[in-house]
Amino acid sequence: MKWNKYSIKTTTDAVDMIGVILQEMGITGIEIEDNLPLTEAEKAQMFVDILPPSDPEDKNAVVSFYVEEEKDTGLISRELKKRIEDLRQFVDAGDGSITKVISDENDWRDNWKEFWKPFKVASDIWIKPTWETIPPEETEGCKVVEMDPGSAFGTGTHHTTRLCIDSIRAHMERGASFLDLGCGSGILFIIAKLLGAGDTAAVDIDPAAVKTAVENAEKNGLDLSKIRICHGNVLEDKELLKSFGKRDIVAANILAEVIIPLNTVVKECLHKDSLYIVSGIIDEKEEEVRKSLSDNGFEILETGRSGEWVSFCSRMM
């Protein structure tokens, strides 16, 4: 399907009124690009450690919307220009120019693939996009993980994922039971299985991630009858957490805001000698997470660092 994307260059002061104009024209879905700081309420809804840059003095904004090409009568630009000009008597509408770009839905979905190529996540582990190939001589003696992240997080390229993989690789013993909390695309538990993990389980709060993780497990030839992959929120559903039983290694590559409350309940899945690996921690929150681990009875064995990111490998005391 082809879509026409319209973008209006305007100001932050005019964004809301332009949104009303578009609603009156029958357009209900819009994108807003600006440099205004996020509100506390908006921050609370975002599971991110790195916030987009902001500049309260920058009043420029772009409002975009999409119209199916076959439903675009060609009158949209003309109507919008007239109504934006009328708007100027009430508010600074800025530049007011309108651009149109024709896009193909397949391009949106697949263009990113050309930038993701096979790479080594460790000296003996390759991550290979399912649509790519690697010469056999380059993978000799290595494990190759077939990945298609879909809409889920986890391609192995991010510092946090690599830090987790390093810890799993260093401590995985054949037959050890493993739990992946917040599995995303499944990359961690798939690597754990390829490294010899025994009883393995994974959970994610996003049903789309669970679907992707199952598909990736299948692509890597794993026996799904021996892996439990489920949807749920272990912070809200304590019975779900208990249902995983005691695990030898538990890994959580999430965010500091999730790891800190997780530290208070994860003991349900750990025995005395279990390893608890956490990653996804921006360096400015390192001490906060370190204190949380200590307060909840964990001994930190190793601290990993890559770029601005930190991971901890700990054990119950």
Q: For residues 154 and 303, state if they share a domain.
A: yes
Domain residue limits at 19: 2-110
- pLDDT at residue 40, rounded to an integer: 56
Domain boundary among 110, 133, 162: 110
pLDDT tens per residue, the chain (317 residues)?
Answer: 678 889 999 999 999 999 999 988 888 788 898 887 766 555 544 444 444 556 677 889 999 998 887 777 778 888 899 999 999 999 999 999 999 887 765 555 555 566 567 777 778 888 888 788 888 888 888 888 888 766 445 555 578 888 999 999 999 999 999 999 999 889 999 999 999 999 999 999 989 889 999 999 999 999 998 899 999 999 999 999 999 999 999 999 998 999 999 999 999 999 989 999 999 998 999 999 999 999 999 999 999 999 889 999 999 88
Quick one: how far is CA 287 from the chain centroid? 23
Q: For residues 128 and 79, state if they share a domain.
A: no
Q: For residues 278 and 223, state if they share a domain.
A: yes
Structure tokens at 300: 């930190």
Angstrom distance (rounded) from CA 228 to CA 259: 22
- Which residue, 158, 121, 167, 159, is CA-closest to 313? 167
Q: For residues 44 and 15, state if they share a domain.
A: yes
CATH of residue 27: 3.30.70
Q: For residues 225 and 82, state if they share a domain.
A: no
Q: For residues 59 and 193, state if they share a domain.
A: no
- pLDDT at residue 44, rounded to an integer: 47
Q: For residues 136 and 216, state if they share a domain.
A: yes
Domain boundary among 110, 144, 160: 110
Q: For residues 147 and 94, state if they share a domain.
A: no
CATH of residue 137: 3.40.50.150
Handedness of CA 222, 217, 173, 248 (dihedral sign): negative
Q: For residues 202 and 71, state if they share a domain.
A: no
Strands (E), 79-221: 98-104, 119-122, 125-129, 143-147, 178-181, 200-204
pTM (two decimals): 0.68
- Number of structural domains (the chain) is 2
Q: For residues 132 and 208, state if they share a domain.
A: yes
Q: For residues 212 and 99, state if they share a domain.
A: no
* 108 CB burial (10 A radius; 0-12, 13-18, 19+): exposed
Domain boundary among 93, 110, 127: 110
Q: For residues 177 and 296, state if they share a domain.
A: yes
Angstrom distance (rounded) from CA 130 to CA 146: 5
- pLDDT at residue 10, rounded to an integer: 95
